[in-house]
Amino acid sequence: MCFVKNCLQILKTFLKPEAACAGFGLNLHRSIILASKTERETVNPASLVKSRIFGIFLAFVLLCLAIGIVEYAIKDYPVFFRTANLLNVLLQVSINAIMAVGMTFIIITAGIDLSVGSVLALCNVAIGLVMLQFSPENAFFQLVFGLMAALAAGGGIGFLNGAVSVRWQIPPFIVTLGTLGVARGLGLWLIDSRTENLIGRVTPAFAYIGNGSLFGVPFPVIVALVIIILGHLVLTLTVFGRHITAIGSNENAARLCGIRVGFYKIWVYVIGGLLVSVAALIQTSRLGSANPTIGQGFELYAIAAVIIGGTNLMGGEGSIIGTLVGALIIGVLNNGLTLMNIPDEIKQIIIGCVIILAVLIDSMRQRKRE
Amino acid sequence: MSKKFIRVVLLLIFISLSAGCSKPDSAHYRYKMALVMKAASNPFFARMEEGARQAADSFKVNLLIAAITRETDINQQVSLIENMIVQGVQAILIAPADSKAIVNALKKAQDAGIRLINIDNRIDAATAAAVGLKIDCYVGVDNEAGGKMAGDYLVKLMSKKGKAAMLEGIRGVDNAEARKRGFLKALEGTQIELAASQSANWAQDQGLDVFANILQANPDISGLFCANDMMALGAIQAIDQAGKSGKIFVTSYDNLQAARQAIAARRLHATIEQHPERMGFGGVEVAKNLLAGRQIDPEMMIELELVTEKNIR
């Protein structure tokens, strides 16, 4: 019951026109942000974030050029800048980008979600097992119940993460570290540690989610784009976005201003979990199987995308567009280095260095401003 | 309230512990030994356990079985061995999570008079010698021969020419490197060019992405060897998505159920069966003979089997 009430409430919050709460919400939270970061009193936080994104975007363009030039120099058949390969990169990035949008919300509230990789695997198992309950001719039931299984698994673990950390004041780092194990174990247990083949056993329409394309653009890329745009709008234009920023910036101040901190924090984890469900639908369709071992270390990729994208790990500021660029940087590196046949150990070194470098450049630029 | 709750939890823990430790009638058994494996969630080790249980039943052996939760968690495996020493087993069958880091724990077991059988992942000989550890018998497969077997079949399918690629396991892991060596040996003396060789870390999702990238750079590849089935299951999805189904031959390693289904659907062309249940059975049998004072060979090699569409079950 309480859950349903919460649902209605959040819907109302989303729908509330901006003007109605501008007088209270907007100004108040600006002041909270400024009050908590006194050293930045003169800097407008919005423009600070914008200039950060510009810097990261520049780094991304330079990285692409560098990969293109090196590949052109060492390979007699360079493909990096071909349309087919660029679409391939976008396709591979889309899953991480979708999960990273949820992670951005979470990190903005000064939280973290370490369980996303395991939850991806759990959703993947849930989708597969539920869909196999119906025959492939029952396309409608397979798709509807598959979708519901995914959302239930992702949203459920997300709710657990949020509710436990809020109710008992446990740091989300610890709660999600726990659910990382819980979700992985649950997935393995449900499917008896096997890999179930889904091809030929589920409706061909399901294959479209991960493998189809619209006007030549892969369908997962379109889904990711829609989620990124929605996420950006929610973060920048809605009361929800302002409130979670305020919470991450100074939780006590936000609470004193009457923001229902626990309510928002729980919802941030639920949204994060639901986005993992969406990513899992795409991944399941792409892999054509239910495999409880997938997604190992995906949480690190999602967190890396968010951090490279300029979101503050301490909470209070962040940007979805930055996260998108962060995910693109990781995706382009993975793709470009494989095209050049660079061995895995060197790949790991390069990607690690780029993550540190991106954050280093960003923090140096910031220090200069101050 | 909370004190009561804690008491209930403690009571439950105590009950489950004492239930877990309830001893079977030990007079009934002739020997007591332990099988310490890697992840029980991996079907490979589940089958190994099955074989070992069968052997334990038929040879009247009291067999304790323990496995770690994460396949690379060497610390947990060390404490499992220590637990087994305390429980007074006469022999330990060990499938080590790490071929070097395990030797100190095993030396402790040896000093306690326990006989040691090494299964599957082979303990590093030099490291064992350095601490004075002597393994009584090794039961396992020759991964290099397996890689060569899968490679030879791929070479045959490709008519000894064209471009091939390889998806390797985790770099630096013994069986990954051995399978790679075997595959490279199979390519020797043919006109096949190895266009790309990348690690996909044993994982299906990485196999999909890495091979999609390799296909971008080398669209004319006609053969692929994957060091395990998981990566192959990802790679064949990449092949389908690139519209190249039927144009690329794929062989791999492990013979998972999903791989057999892919072979039946002609999306995968061959895989290698290692018979883990024979390793489990053989390990118990060797240990029994050893404890009975019989002479045993220092090595027991389990024969590999090439599984193609002709012999899938």
**Residue A367, both tokens:** 């220090």
This prediction has a pTM of 0.78
DSSP label at A133?
T
Q: Where are the beta strands (DSSP E) in chain B?
A: 31-37, 61-67, 91-94, 115-119, 137-140, 161-168, 191-199, 221-226, 249-251, 271-273, 299-301, 305-307
User: What residues in chain B have their Cβ under 8 A from chain A's Cβ atoms?
Assistant: 40-43, 46, 168, 171-172, 196-199, 201, 203-205, 208-210, 212-214, 216-218, 230, 233-234, 237, 240-241, 256-258, 261-262, 265, 267
Give pLDDT < 70 ranges for chain A.
1-50, 362, 365-366, 369-370
Of B145, B109, B107, nearest in space to B128 by CA: B107
Whole-number Å distance between alpha carbons of B196 and A79: 15
Calculate the average pLDDT of chain B. 88
What is the count of structural domains for chain A? Answer: 1
What CATH number corresponds to the domain at position A127?
Answer: 1.10.3470
Angle at A361 between CA A360 and CA A364, to 5 degrees: 85
Residue A56 structural domain? 45-369
pLDDT of residue B95: 92
Partners of B300 in the β-ladder: B139
CA distance A272 to A113: 8
| A3 falls within a domain | no
A193, A289, A293: residue with CB nearest B46: A193
Least confident of A212-221, B71-80, B93-102, B198-207: B71-80
* Distance set, CA A280 to CA A286, A326, B114, B238 (Å): 10, 20, 48, 17
Residue at A194 is within a domain: yes
A177 C-beta neighbours (distance < 10 Å), count: 15
pLDDT for position A274: 97
Domains of chain B, by residue range, sit at 29-140+275-302, 143-273
- Among chain A, residues having any CB pair with chain B shorter than 8 Å are 75, 77, 79, 82, 84-85, 88, 91-92, 188, 193-197, 199-200, 211, 283, 286-289, 291-296, 334-335, 338-341, 343-345
The share of chain B scoring above pLDDT 70, in percent, equals 90
Are the folds of B29-140+275-302 and B143-273 the same? Answer: yes
pLDDT, average across residues B49-66 = 92
Nearest to residue A120, comparing CAs of A302, A265, A264? A302
Instruction: Examine residue A30 and state whether it is found in any structural domain, yes or no.
Output: no
Instruction: Verify whether the Cβ–Cβ distance A341 to B43 is below 8 Å.
Output: no
| Token pair for B287 | 């240990």
Mean pLDDT to the nearest integer, B277-282? 94
CB contacts < 8 A, A to B, total 94
Which of B155, B152, B148, B229 has the alpha carbon at shortest distance from B192? B155
In this predicted model, what pLDDT tens digit does every residue of B170-218 receive, in sequence order? Answer: 887 788 899 999 999 999 999 999 999 999 988 999 999 999 999 999 9
- A15 by DSSP, 3-state: which? helix
Q: Does residue A282 belong to any structural domain of this protein? A: yes
Domain B29-140+275-302 CATH class label: alpha beta
Per-residue pLDDT tens for B156-167? 999 999 999 999
Supply the pLDDT for residue A149.
95
Structurally, at CATH architecture level, domain B143-273 sits in 3-Layer(aba) Sandwich (3.40)
pLDDT at B149: 95
Q: Does residue A299 contact residue A31 with C-beta atoms inside 8 Å?
A: no
- Triad A3, A236, A231: Cα angle to 5°: 55
Residue-level pLDDT at B27: 52
Q: How far is CA B198 from CA A259, B218, B303, in A?
A: 51, 13, 28
User: For B28, which DSSP code?
Assistant: G
Q: Nearest to residue B34, comparing CAs of B64, B68, B77?
A: B64
Do B204 and A289 count as a contact with CB atoms less than 8 A apart?
yes
Name the minimum distance, in Å, from the CA of A333 to any CA of chain B. Answer: 11
Query: Rounded distance, CA A354 to CA A331, Å?
Result: 12
CB within 8 Å: B46 and A84: no
pLDDT tens digits, one per residue of B11-35: 666 665 555 444 444 457 889 999 9
3-class secondary-structure state, position A203: coil
Q: Please report whether residue A182 resides in a domain.
A: yes
pLDDT tens for each residue of A328-344:
999 999 999 888 888 88
Q: Is A294 among the domain residues?
A: yes
Probe site for chain A from B42, B68, B213, B229 (most A CB atoms < 10 A):
B213
User: How confident is the model at residue A221, as a pLDDT?
Assistant: 96
Enumerate the β-bridge partners of residue B226.
B167
